[in-house]
Amino acid sequence: MARKISIRQALNEALDQEMARDPTVFVMGEDIVGGMGGDGDKDAWGGVLGVTKGLYAKYGDRLLDTPLSESAYIGAAVGAAACGMRPVAELMFIDFMGVCFDEIFNQAAKFKYMFGGKAETPVVIRTMIGGGFRAAAQHSQVLTPLFTHIPGLKVVVPSNAYDAKGLLIQSIRDNDPVIFCEHKNLYGHESDVPQESYTIPFGEANVVREGKHVTIVTYGMMVHRALDAAALLAKDKVECEVIDLRTLSPIDWDTVLESVENTGRLVCVDEAHPRCSIASDVSAKVSQEAFKALKAGIQMVTAPHTPVPFSPALEDLYLPSAEKIASAARKTMAN
C-alpha cells in the first residue's frame, strides 16, 4: 500500500474500474465530459472539478453530458436504474438537489417498497457538499440531513481517499439509491489506496483515533477538524476517540454507543445546520440508549442556523473549527 493518491484520483479510479468490470455502469451529468462531447482533448475538463477526467476517452458514449436540467437527467438515471442499468449521475452541488426531489424522494426511494421488493433502483447520485470554498450560500451547504430523513436512500460521505474508492465501488454495486457526498475541500486530500478494487461495507464507522476520555462523532471534512482538536487536547492529556461515521444511512450506532460507554462523554460535530442534523440525531440516540454511561451533558458543534456567508472572514467563523471542537470537549470534561 505504498501508493498515495488523492480523493479525486480515488473516485476516478473507482469509476474506471467499475465501468471496466460492469457494462451496465454509465456516468451522466453536467460537463462530466467537457462540453459538447467529442474525441481526444474534448474531455480534458472531466467535470467541474475533474473527477471524470480521462474516462470519456476510454468509455466514449458511456459518459453522457446532460443539459442543465437536473430534474430531467436525475429522472432519467432513476428510470435507467429501475430498468437494469447502474447509472452514476453527477449532480454538481447538493444545493441543486431541490429541483429533483420528486425523482429522488418519491420515485427512487420508494420503488422497492411500493413494488413489494420486485423493483430495485441501483442509482448513485454523486454530489459536492461543504463550505470553505468561497462559493456562497447556494453552493456551500451540507444538506446531508435532508437525505438521511428519507427511508430507502443510502447516504455516504467519505473523508479520505481510501474510503472514497471503496465506498464509491460499494455504492455502484449496491442495489439501492445512494446519495454519495464529496466534500469539495477534500478532493486533494491523499492517503494510501490499493490499486485493486475493493468495497467498504455500509454502516461501519471508522474509529480514526482511539481515546478514553471523550468521544467525538462526525463525518466528512469535520473528521479532519476533529483530529486537529484531538491533537490540541492531547497536549492537555485529554484523549479523544474520533469516530468517522462514513455512511449516515445506514448509520453504525453500535460503534458510537460502545465508544460512549467507554468514555462517558460525547461531542457531536456536524458541518450541517444544528436543527435536525446528524449531530442532533446522534445526540438523541445516545441519550436514549446510553444515558447511564454519560458523565456530562452532550455537546454539539455545528454550523449556525444561517445561510453560508460569502465573506471569507465570516465563512471561516461559520464553519466548526478545531478550537471550537476542543472547547466543547473541555466542557464535557469540566464536571
Partner 1 sequence: MSEKRIIPIVMPKWGLSMEEGKVTSWLMKDGDQVKVGDQILEVETDKIAGAVEASDAGILRRRIGQADTIYPIKTLIGVVADADVPDSDIDEFVSSYVVPAAEEGEDETGPRYDFIDTAAGRLRYIKRGTADNIVLLIHGFGGDLDNWLFNADAFAEKATVYALDLPGHGQSTKTLGDPTVAGLARAVLGFMDAVKVDKAHLVGHSLGGAIAIEIARTNKNRVKSLNLISTAGLGPDINMDFIGGFVAAASRRDLKPVLENLFADGSLVSRQMVDDLLKYKRLDGVGDALAALKDGVFAGGQQATNLSAALKSSGVPALVIWGAQDKIIPVQHAKAAAGAKVEIIEGAGHMVQMEQAGKINSLIKAMVGG
Contact residues toward partner 1 (CB under 8 A) are 1-2, 162, 166, 194, 196-201, 204, 207, 210, 254-255
To the nearest whole angstrom, how small is the minimum distance from the Cβ of residue 321 to partner 1? 26
To the nearest whole angstrom, how small is the minimum distance from the Cβ of residue 100 to partner 1? 32
In the DSSP assignment, the letter for residue 166 is H
Please name which of 47, 51, 42, 52 lies closest in space to residue 31, comparing C-alpha atoms: 47
- Minimum CB distance to partner 1 smaller for 89 or for 169: 169
- Minimum CB distance to partner 1 smaller for 73 or for 202: 202
- Minimum CB distance to partner 1 smaller for 204 or for 323: 204
- Minimum CB distance to partner 1 smaller for 89 or for 290: 290
Q: Is 149 a catalytic residue?
A: no
Contact between residue 103 and residue 112 where contact means Cβ atoms under 8 Å apart:
no
To the nearest whole angstrom, how small is the minimum distance from the Cβ of residue 334 to partner 1? 25
The label of the residue with cell 472572514 reads 313
Please name which of 40, 93, 37 lies closest in space to residue 70, comparing C-alpha atoms: 93
- Minimum CB distance to partner 1 smaller for 2 or for 313: 2
Type and span of the H or E element at 21: helix 7-21
- End-to-end alpha carbon distance in the chain: 44
Cα dihedral 242/247/248/252 (nearest 10)? -60
4-6 and 25-29 beta bridge pairing:
unpaired
To the nearest whole angstrom, how small is the minimum distance from the Cβ of residue 7 to partner 1? 17
Distance CA 131, CA 185 (A): 8
To the nearest whole angstrom, how small is the minimum distance from the Cβ of residue 276 to partner 1? 29
Q: Which of 139, 183, 189, 273 is catalytic?
A: 139
To the nearest whole angstrom, how small is the minimum distance from the Cβ of residue 204 to partner 1? 5
List phi, psi (to 5°) of 65.
-80, 130
* Angle formed by the axes of helices 222-234 and 322-334, nearest 10°: 50
The label of the residue with cell 453560508 reads 308
Contact between residue 207 and residue 255 where contact means Cβ atoms under 8 Å apart:
yes
Cα dihedral 142/271/139/81 (nearest 10)? -20
The label of the residue with cell 436543527 reads 275
To the nearest whole angstrom, how small is the minimum distance from the Cβ of residue 22 to partner 1? 12
- Minimum CB distance to partner 1 smaller for 173 or for 331: 173
In the DSSP assignment, the letter for residue 309 is P
The full DSSP string for 231-256 is: HHHHTTTPPEEEEE--EEES--HHHH
Distance CA 325, CA 271 (A): 12
Question: 165 Cβ partners below 8 Å, 6+ apart?
Answer: 10, 11, 13, 14, 193, 198
Catalytic residue numbers? 139
